[in-house]
Structure 1
Amino acid sequence: MGASILHITNGDSTTNYLKKLKFSGEFITWREMLCEGKTTTDVGSEAFWKNRFDFFKTSYKVSKQKFIDYTLKEYRNLCNKKSQKEIVLWFEYDLFCQINMIAVLSWLKRYRKGYHISLVCSGKVGKSKLMYALPELNEKQIQDHYKNRIELSQDDIEYADYIWQLYCSDSPLRLETVYKFNTNSPFKYLASAIEAHLKRYPSIENGLNSVENTILKTAVEKKPKSKKQFIGQLLKDEDVYGYGDLQYEYKINELRKLFHSFNPIRLTKMGKDVLENQINYYGQIRSDNSYLGGSKKYSFLYHNPSNKLLQITS
């Protein structure tokens, strides 16, 4: 029975942990970060992967060979796994994972219709206020999560695919109106992930989004001694996004003109003024090549007092 299960996990650390715990079945690791860069709805198509490689090459200087070895080969392995009629998805509560999860479900809807699909999703454990990643669960906790995994109906899969289609559209406004209204959704962390996603559009107040403002705020309040300590603090504090050190490195680099030094971490006067909403930095940071899902990041503004998005019309 075990061999007839295919596990699709959110990363190598989860895959390795499950193998160490002797979970039976075969494993595919979904190595993507679809919460960053432009996405299109046709997960797995040639155009989809070309678009993703262009993003990684431009933003993270990833070579074609590395992209093939790390991501595409594993995806091709997934395409070849057709014999297992039960598929178990292993994803976490944060934005990084939730966007990958709905993309995988969109792919499964198209290419694995009629298969038995279930979800293991980590986050809160019992009455704890802390959120846990899958490899942070002890053996009993992970076995309990697996035993209580959520069986996904066709309607659930359709809903995940619908949210994915909206995420990839050229406007986030529709997503803003629908994400919180499916109270029967089995994806209990998806609404908070989408909420975090919408706050990644630049704010009206100073032109920076929630993540960028947190970076400046952390620099001022925590006074890190080095960039390594700085990134460590951001990783610890900002778990709703699920970003890794490379992503924070990239985002800090985008804001480098607002930093006086990185050893120790100190903002320029302009950096402090931006943080205090005395200066709007939108004009200096704006880029036509910056996307969140399918929409241009700088074509919309987030209004914090009302938690609403506004479209910029030219």
Structure 2
Amino acid sequence: MSSVLHITNGDSFTERLKKLNLDGDIITWREMLCEGKTLTNVGSESFWKTRFEFLNKNYKVSKSWFIEKTLKEYRSLCNHKQQDHIVLWFEYDLFCQVNMLAVISWLLTNRKYAEISLVCSGNEDDSNKLYSLNDLSDEQLHTLYKNKKILSQDDTEYADYVWQLYCSNNPIRLENLTDFNEYQFDYLGDAVKTHLKRFPSIANGLNEMENTMLRLAMDEKPTSKTDFLETILSTQNNLGFADTQYNRAIERLKPLFTNLNPVKLTKKGKEILEGKTSYYSCIQDNDVYLGGALKYNFLYNTENDRILKL
């Protein structure tokens, strides 16, 4: 009998997985590497120092919380050295796909002997809906597990390569990737496209997510900030963000709202949304990273879906 280690995408699914009574231990990957600066050497001292600084500054994460929740779980992963089969449980969205790349990169360095399998939810029926793992029934999860994809060395090395590019200081190299469908990552190509659209647009200095938020504010006329957040969460495509990320985005865009109860845009907010003026010079910040790249050192051209370096 081979021993199994499951690595999950978060605490809520870990609790769910425990109830499925599958063989093996479970480790939760508690990170959100789609936000803030990332370094290629996953698990190194410099990697965790960089991550703590970002989380502490932007989400008020205390050192004790970070040690207790993230580092202790990571150390537990380090101590699981016996399993020769590792199963990754992740989802289709950007949040999950970036974490998945980092975990595979770490495994490639630290668990060379292990067979790595991937269970990834997304397209589960004939509808256009993309499903999270927690959206699925126990029966569906058992079926996904039974049909898990065993990753070849080519697959894992490709995931590590994409991770290196994500952590590089130039997203144009990511943009030039076209061979996603040659590997067993059904949702990685779309996740990379979603990532690139997080750079500010040439049109008005806001990225796709920020423009969507302004448009929802104007079209849906939310009656409160809570209503606004619910609207955003129910209409986000494949970012996979939670209200914490959107709350932070609302704070950044606050000058463009006259009010959040009800939600109303300023005159400038409407002009930016209509492309009559740009918010680039107002929001430019030299300390905002997307992976390894500075967000405001690049512009996204929505007309040809290309990145430009400033």
Q: TM-score range by the shorter chain?
A: over 0.9
Structure 2 equivalent of residue 274 of structure 1: 272
Contact 2:180/2:188 (<8 A) preserved? no
1:185-200 correspondence to structure 2 within 5 Å: 185-200=183-198
Determine helix, strand or coil for the equivalent of 2:299.
strand
- Work out the number of aligned pairs and report it: 310
Which one-letter code corresponds to 1:297 in the other structure? K
Q: Which moved more, 1:18-27 or 1:197-206?
A: 18-27
Q: How far does residue 256 in structure 1 lie from its aligned partner after superposition?
A: 0.2
Q: How far does residue 57 in structure 1 lie from its aligned partner after superposition?
A: 0.8
1:277 and 1:185 map into 2 onto residues whose CA distance is: 39
1:256 and 1:24 map into 2 onto residues whose CA distance is: 49
Residues 306 and 239 (structure 1), Cα distance of their counterparts in 2 relative to 1, 3 Å cut: closer
1:27 matched to 2:60: no
Structure 2 equivalent of residue 151 of structure 1: 150
1:177-216 correspondence to structure 2 within 5 Å: 177-178=176-177, 180-216=178-214
Structure 1 equivalent of residue 67 of structure 2: 68
Contact 2:105/2:159 (<8 A) preserved? yes
1:262 and 1:182 map into 2 onto residues whose CA distance is: 41
Q: How far does residue 20 in structure 1 lie from its aligned partner after superposition?
A: 1.4
Q: TM-score, normalised by structure 2?
A: 0.99
Q: How far does residue 24 in structure 1 lie from its aligned partner after superposition?
A: 2.1
Q: Which structure 2 residue ranges, 5 or more long, are not aligned?
A: none
Determine helix, strand or coil for the equivalent of 1:183.
helix
Percent identity reads 55
Q: What is the root-mean-square deviation in Å for CA atoms of aligned residues?
A: 0.8
Residue deviations 1:150-174 (CA, integer Å, cap 9, x gap): 0000110000000000000010011
Structure 2 equivalent of residue 301 of structure 1: 299
Residue deviations 1:205-247 (CA, integer Å, cap 9, x gap): 0000001101101101111111111111111111300000000
Q: TM-score, normalised by structure 1?
A: 0.97
Structure 1 equivalent of residue 168 of structure 2: 169
Determine helix, strand or coil for the equivalent of 2:83.
coil
1:122-133 correspondence to structure 2 within 5 Å: 122-133=121-132
Q: How far does residue 116 in structure 1 lie from its aligned partner after superposition?
A: 0.7
1:141 matched to 2:145: no
Which one-letter code corresponds to 1:284 in the other structure? C
2:309 and 2:218 map into 1 onto residues whose CA distance is: 31
Which one-letter code corresponds to 1:291 in the other structure? Y
1:116 and 1:309 map into 2 onto residues whose CA distance is: 37
Q: Which structure 1 residue ranges, 5 or more long, are not aligned?
A: none
Structure 2 equivalent of residue 288 of structure 1: 286
Structure 1 equivalent of residue 79 of structure 2: 80
